[in-house]
Amino acid sequence: MKSFSIKFSLVFLMFFQLGLSAQEPNVEKPAIIPQPAEVEWKDDFFTLQERTVVCFNSGAEASAAWLQRLLQNTYTQSYTMRGENCNGFNLNINPELEETLGKEGYNLDISSSNVRLEAATEAGLFYAIQTLRQMFPSGIENEKVSEEIKLSQVSITDTPRFEWRGSMLDVARSFFGPNYIKKHIDRMALYKLNKLHLHLTDDQGWRIEIKQKPKLTELGSKGAVKGGRSGFLTQEEYKDIQEYAAARNIVIVPEIDIPGHIYAALMAYPELNCDDLSNIEPRRATPPELFHGYEVGWSKFCLDKPEIYDFVATVLGEMASITTGDYLHIGGDEIEDERYREFVIKADSIVQNLGKTTIGWEEVTQAAVDTTFISQRWNGKTKSVVKTPIIESICSSFYFDHANVPGQEMTNNWCQENGVSLKDTYNFKVTNPNTIGVEAPVWTEMVLSDEAADDRFWPRSIAMAEVGWTKEENKDYKSFIERLGAQGLRLDFMDVNYFRSPEVEWNSDPKKGIFSEFMPESKF
């Protein structure tokens, strides 16, 4: 009798861990990030059947394909058909909803018989699907889920706080190619991030093919920081990345850093230097020598030479011709020159004439640039002479090349000695009324591998995603880290080498395997 009692207790414990109690299939509510604007959970469930229909109306074809892609990793056989009221899944685009939901908001309603997603645009439906995705078992990310799936009944109305929710990857100091960039895009999409800023050029390397200036990649792409990777994106690869991103409602924002941080171009085209090389001070390298150091902000165009504007117009013109998004980033940081303001105004004019919106680091607002110019704040110390839209990338909250925790190796903590914690990111307060959003950069002086980049981006990018999407009054750090902990297994299934922030109780343990959430003592 004692043996039976022990066995019964173990079986009961196992079912309790799995959340498969016959009386209550899963009492825990899904851990959704970013926190939606309005959520009303109900007590019952929608049970995914062995066969189900995905109905969609005109304009929602792409969303139906995304939903089917999600369902392919379950036991159900799903079928698509045009319609608006089916038992199963319903995806509807209604442009009139833009008045209340904007371009990216959505409604998600789950009842006992159907799951209804509606929005004004495809982007809104895509984000509704990302919320729904987080309600499915984590294993759906890379394997077929065979156990019965029950979705909590809920009514969600959701809209983003900011239009700009960005991530920045520096591929100039150490190169990251198309495969990693696409993985990063996939992860961004899950958490409703919508802008990927690629820092394509710097002193160490030039990473984008410019057909009219072939030496930029023939010579300028050969450099990298010590231990880093060299290389470049062909224009075809760049276009493919943009297409991949656009399918996930992410816009690629290319940065050609000018007039400083430009040694890779000066090395490839020495005529852009002053005759006495006075534009390279202090002199870290001399053309045709490559630069492999960590130092930045020591090179600039010879701004006395009018021909530099021909170079700028050629490069920016070619970038505009291959860039589908609305933006060109011209850098503009960390330079002192009496002709700096003149250069910024001319570069802004070039970009405007190409039909794009100019973005630059905050120093650009020392010049009387056009009021459409977007300023990216990184230290908040610039005395601006013009009011412009602002992207907040303040280093003490959003520079993710900094340490996750004090003392982390291979981190560059010049802005904040103890690094940038998860809480530093989450608790950032937006105070400037001109702010259009937030963006977190990873500079790669000391980020030399895909695994290291993952470690720096995640999970802090998830905290930033909630800062960008969720209204301040709906944010709560305690709630966030509880929901974040429940994302651990999903990140494992997505093969993300995320930093396991010690303040978070993660629902998986890599030392025990990804199934530790369900079988804490299992060695399976």
Residue 269 pLDDT level (bands cut at 50, 70, 90)? very high
- Report the pLDDT value the prediction gives residue 511, as an integer from 0 to 100: 61
* 18 pLDDT higher than 70: no
Question: DSSP letters along 337-393, please?
Answer: -TTHHHHHHHHHHHHHHTT-EEEEEGGGGGS---TTPEEEESSS----SS---EEE-
Instruction: Characterize the bridge pairing of strands 150-158 and 38-47.
Output: antiparallel
Q: Tokens representing 141?
A: 């990310």
pLDDT in tens, 468-509: 999 999 999 999 999 999 999 999 999 999 999 999 999 998
Element housing 256 (H / E)? strand 251-258
pLDDT of res. 14: 36
10 Å Cβ neighbour count for 47?
A: 12
Q: Reply yes or no on whether the pLDDT at 4 is more than 50.
A: no
Across residues 216-231, what is the average pLDDT?
98
Selecting among 61, 98, 163, 334, the annotated active-site residue is: 334
ω before 389 within 30° of 0 (cis)? Answer: no
* Dihedral (CA of 125, 129, 130, 134) sign: positive
The pTM assigned to this predicted structure is: 0.93
On whether the CB atoms of residues 376 and 437 are closer than 8 A, the answer is no
CATH architecture of 26-159: 2-Layer Sandwich (3.30)
Query: Does residue 519 have a pLDDT over 50?
Result: no
Q: Is residue 297 predicted with pLDDT exceeding 50? A: yes
Range scoring the smallest mean pLDDT among 21-35, 51-65, 188-202, 298-312: 21-35
In whole angstroms, what is the distance from residue 289 CA to residue 267 CA?
7
Average the pLDDT over 453-475 and give the result: 98
- What count of other Cβ atoms lies within 10 Å of the Cβ of residue 383? 7
Asked if pLDDT for residue 427 goes beyond 70, the answer is yes
On the question of pLDDT at 214 being above 50, the answer is: yes
Listed in order, strand segments (DSSP E) in 36-179 are: 38-47, 51-56, 77-82, 88-93, 106-110, 114-119, 150-158, 164-170
Q: Just give the CATH number of 164-474.
A: 3.20.20.80
pLDDT digits (tens, 9 = 90+) for 343-369: 999 999 999 999 999 999 999 999 999
Look at the block and give the residue holding tokens 């009219």: 212
pLDDT bin (cut points 50, 70, 90) of residue 296 is confident
Of 337, 329, 405, which Cα lies nearest the Cα of 374?
329
Encode pLDDT of 234-264 as tens digits: 999 999 999 999 999 999 999 999 999 999 9
Calpha distance 415→393 (Å, rounded): 12
Rounded CA separation 101/128 (Å) = 12
353: CB partners within 8 A, 6+ apart: none
pLDDT of residue 10: 34
Whether 518 has a pLDDT exceeding 70, the answer reads no
User: Can 26-159 and 164-474 be said to share one CATH topology?
Assistant: no
Q: Where are the domains of the chain?
A: 26-159, 164-474, 476-524
pLDDT-based confidence at residue 510 (cuts at 50, 70, 90) = confident
Segment 189-212 mean pLDDT: 98
CA–CA distance, 89 with 55 (Å, rounded to integer): 6
User: Has 334 been annotated as catalytic?
Assistant: yes
* Torsion sign, CA atoms 310, 378, 374, 101: positive
Residue 110 has pLDDT above 90, yes or no: yes
Alpha-carbon gap, residue 241 to 461, rounded angstroms:
20
Q: Six-digit token pair at 331?
A: 């850098």
Q: Using CA atoms, how far apart are residues 111 and 133, in angstroms rounded to an integer?
A: 16
Average pLDDT, the chain: 92
At residue 33 the predicted structure's pLDDT band, cuts being 50, 70 and 90, is: very high
How many angstroms separate the most distant Cα atoms in the chain? 95
Q: CA–CA separation, 92 vs 94, rounded Å? A: 6
The Cβ-side half-sphere exposure at 384, using a 13 Å CA radius, reads: 20
Provide the pLDDT for residue 9. Answer: 37
> How many CB atoms are located within 10 Å of the residue 250 CB?
25
Starting at the edge strand found earlier in the chain, the sheet holding 150-158 runs: 38-47, 150-158, 106-110, 114-119, 88-93, 51-56, 77-82
* SS3 at position 110: strand
Other CB atoms closer than 10 Å to residue 301's CB: what's the count? Answer: 25
